[in-house]
């Protein structure tokens, strides 16, 4: 398959329906123009979670629920484009599991995250409450996309829940990127989405696939914070085979979620 004919699924975006959920740093778009721009960049479908600015210091579960409902509302406006992800919170394990179960059974949710602990006001993904939730996600075979504080935490989670599909958000640069690739190589259930920093480094995607394999990398952009055209161009221009490129663009996401 030629690269330009591949389906392209962006696994990491943060859509919005109002200004309080719009994290664009410059030139914010309407929700409709948000989707039009992504399609212009070649994105066929996209997945992610809604965020809200100015969450309370403790971040109540009502706020978590509100972000999840916004994701569903965005999905309902753009059903052929957006695949909603939902938030959980380790301080509310019972509420989180109940929320996941409801959205899984009634809304067909296939993705959890991106989890952003520094915005939803918790400091660790490694806690008894988090473990209760991970066990439930593992049981449902739902992948979770995490913005990590510490890769050692991610390693411990991978070891504790070997069937939990963990997608690390953002490659980072230099030493941090190599560290994440090393972890992916070691842990079969750990993956990486390429959103955020470091895609400007020539050859880094080729390196990651050489080390960890083509099945471990997913396209992501973090739009509207970052420009999705950059990430599509990176995958198209790096020295990959057509099969590798297709894996990064869409096949890995579809395999992890069971998406048709």
From 13, 148, 137, 135, select the one nearest 82 (Cα to Cα): 13
User: How many angstroms separate the CA atoms of 29 and 142, rounded?
Assistant: 31
From 191, 257, 248, select the one nearest 1 (Cα to Cα): 248
pLDDT digits (tens, 9 = 90+) for 167-215: 999 999 889 999 999 999 999 999 999 998 766 789 999 999 999 999 9
Q: So what CATH class is 15-257?
A: alpha beta
pLDDT digits (tens, 9 = 90+) for 140-157: 999 999 999 999 999 999
User: How many angstroms separate the CA atoms of 201 and 164, rounded?
Assistant: 30
Q: In Å, what is the CA distance from 115 to each residue of 2, 7, 33, 87, 215? A: 34, 25, 25, 6, 22
pLDDT band at 5 (very low <50, low <70, confident <90, very high): low
pLDDT band at 2 (very low <50, low <70, confident <90, very high): very low
- Encode 4-14: b = buried (16+ Cβ within 10 Å), e = exposed: eebebbbbbbb
In sequence order, what are the beta bridge partners of 10? 46
**Is 11 a residue whose pLDDT tops 90?**
yes
Domain boundary assignment for the chain: 15-257
């Amino acid at each position: 398959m030629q690269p330009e004919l591949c389906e392209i699924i962006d696994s990491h975006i943060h859509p919005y329906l109002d200004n309080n959920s719009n994290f664009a740093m410059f030139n914010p778009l309407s929700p409709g123009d948000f989707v039009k721009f992504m399609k212009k960049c070649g994105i066929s479908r996209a997945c992610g979670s809604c965020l809200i600015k100015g969450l309370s210091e403790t971040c109540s579960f009502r706020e978590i629920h509100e972000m999840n409902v916004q994701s569903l509302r965005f999905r309902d406006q753009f059903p052929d484009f957006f695949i909603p992800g939902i938030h959980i919170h380790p301080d509310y394990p019972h509420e989180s599991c109940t929320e996941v179960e409801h959205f899984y059974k009634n809304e067909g949710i296939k993705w959890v995250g991106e989890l952003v602990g520094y915005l939803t006001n918790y400091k660790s993904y490694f806690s008894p409450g988090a473990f209760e939730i991970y066990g439930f996600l593992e049981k449902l075979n739902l992948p979770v996309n995490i913005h990590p504080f510490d890769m050692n935490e991610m390693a411990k989670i991978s070891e504790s829940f070997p069937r939990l599909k963990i997608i690390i958000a953002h490659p980072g640069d230099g030493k941090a990127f190599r560290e994440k690739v090393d972890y992916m190589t070691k842990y079969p259930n750990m993956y990486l989405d390429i959103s955020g920093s470091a895609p400007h480094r020539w050859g880094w995607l080729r390196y990651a696939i050489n080390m960890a394999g083509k099945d471990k990398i997913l396209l992501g952009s973090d739009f509207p914070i970052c420009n999705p055209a950059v990430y599509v161009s990176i995958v198209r221009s790096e020295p990959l085979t057509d099969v590798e490129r297709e894996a990064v663009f869409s096949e890995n996401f579809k395999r992890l979620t069971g998406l048709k």
